[in-house]
Amino acid sequence: MGIRFFPLTLGPMRMLTERGMRLAAILRSRGLKVEEGYPGGAQDILGILRKQGGAAALQRALQGIGLRGDVARRPLTHDELDAATLAWVARQCLVGNGYSIGDPSEGVMVLPCRPPTRKT
């Protein structure tokens, strides 16, 4: 698919992975459905720059696929832009424009199906 993934055992990634697993367990214990996502992978599929291309460029690209709210109102941090990306992916999956990859016994990740038509 051409998506660059980071090794989950890499120091900082291990900490994020463990934190995410703890948070997911808490949310599941409250009866919520939890999906794993990867903002960089979604951004690759959408053909937009990842946050390394600059927060402003990523924010413009997210506006270009139709994200509104704070994405259109104020400068957001890289983390906020990644969260907005994954919220959009989750919405796409809910309406049938996404899919999951991975082994369900180990974990799956949701991704968008294809780039949407860019808004002008």
Rounded to whole angstroms, the Cα distance separating 32 from 22 reads 14
Helix (H, G, I), strand (E, B) or coil at 112: strand
Determine how β-strand 36-37 pairs with β-strand 98-103.
unpaired
pLDDT of res. 49: 84
Here the tokens at position 120 are 């002008």
Q: Per residue in 33-60, pLDDT tens?
A: 888 888 998 998 888 888 778 999 999 9
Residue 44 has φ and ψ, to the nearest 5°, of: -60, -45
Here the tokens at position 84 are 């907005």
Rounded to whole angstroms, the Cα distance separating 60 from 95 reads 24
**pLDDT band at residue 23, thresholds of 50, 70 and 90?**
very high
Query: pTM (2 decimals)?
Result: 0.81
Cβ contacts of 70-79, under 8 Å, gap ≥ 24: 78/51
